[in-house]
């Protein structure tokens, strides 16, 4: 099977928007990751044009900690994105398998922050920062994936699509996302704070037995500082994390 010139080799994973394949680019003779949108996501010609415009913006991002987009195209009444194929594991797998050390938290956090600073400076907000979108390579270098895809699907920044599906993963969403308010780069910083908290404290800051309970925690509850949960966490790191987790975006770092 092929999409455009790309030869499908195997399925790597699937999500609400589509399927990601390992594919081969015969023109350059290299492996790529090919994200193919579900046909029911391609709802209109206006959507197609908006998607292509936003994808081109994302494709212009060039940063060592952001996955590279090589190409976008249309085939079989759907849209595909050809991206850099990454070696490594998603951060959520690492968090499931072991506790992350202090130095590793600092290294991963700085890389994520640098990538977000770069993207925000170019007007691109991720909107779905979560461990499964952070790939940790064998050398410890991270790559953020799916940059801007949520914004392509829902440029107004609302929490729900027309089909009623949640954009973003509840436990990592910012209060403004949960409340369907406009978002900017500070929303990504909140999500970054959630990841840092999870690595430092060994648990997520916002939990609940239902989506509604998680949303309530995100918007109304203040978690214990990570250095209170884990005394090995430095007070300085704990303060940085808690500033990222301010409910009001104005209380967070600007970038």
Which one of the listed residues 25, 29, 128, 154 is annotated catalytic? 128
Which one, of 102, 70, 63, lies nearest residue 85 by Cα?
70
Q: Would residue 128 show up in a list of annotated catalytic residues for this protein?
A: yes
- DSSP state string for the chain: -EETTEEEEEEEEE-SSEEEEEEEETTTTEEEEEEEE-GGG---HHHHHHHHHHHHHHHT---TTBPPEEEEEEETTEEEEEEE---SEEHHHHHHHSPPPHHHHHHHHHHHHHHHHHHHTTT---S---GGGEEE-TTS-EEE-STTHHHHH-TT--SB-TT-PBSS-GGG--HHHHTT----HHHHHHHHHHHHHHHHHSS-SS--SSHHHHHHHHHH--PPPHHHH-TTS-HHHHHHHHHHT-SSGGGS---
Q: Say how far apart CA 194 and CA 202 lie, in whole Å.
A: 11
Beta-carbon contacts of 185 under 8 Å, excluding residues fewer than 6 positions away, are 116, 119, 120, 125, 254, 255
Distance (Å) of CA 36 to CA 17, 20, 119, 131, 168: 8, 6, 23, 22, 19
**Residues marked as catalytic:** 128
């Amino acid at each position: 099977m092929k999409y455009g010139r790309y030869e499908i080799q195997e399925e790597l994973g699937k999500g609400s928007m589509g399927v990601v394949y390992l594919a081969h680019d015969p023109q350059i003779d290299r492996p790529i990751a090919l994200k193919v949108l579900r046909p029911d996501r391609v709802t209109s010609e206006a959507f197609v044009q908006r998607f292509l415009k936003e994808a081109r913006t994302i494709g212009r991002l060039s940063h060592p900690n952001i996955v590279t987009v090589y190409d976008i195209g249309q085939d079989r009444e759907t849209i595909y994105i050809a991206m850099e194929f990454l070696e490594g594991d998603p951060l959520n797998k690492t968090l499931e398998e072991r506790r992350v050390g202090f130095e590793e938290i600092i290294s991963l956090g700085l890389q994520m922050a640098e990538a977000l600073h770069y993207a925000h400076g170019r007007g691109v907000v991720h909107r779905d920062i979560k461990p499964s979108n952070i790939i940790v390579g064998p050398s410890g270098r991270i790559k953020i994936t799916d940059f801007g895809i949520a914004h392509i699907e829902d440029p107004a920044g609302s929490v729900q699509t027309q089909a009623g599906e949640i954009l973003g993963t509840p436990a990592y969403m910012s209060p403004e996302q949960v409340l369907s308010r406009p978002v900017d780069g500070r929303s990504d910083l909140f999500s970054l704070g959630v990841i840092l908290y999870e690595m430092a404290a060994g648990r997520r800051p916002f939990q609940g037995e239902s989506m509604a309970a998680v949303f309530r925690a995100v918007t109304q509850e203040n978690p214990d500082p990570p250095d209170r949960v884990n005394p090995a966490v430095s007070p300085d790191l704990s303060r940085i994390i808690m500033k990222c987790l301010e409910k009001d975006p104005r209380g967070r770092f600007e970038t």
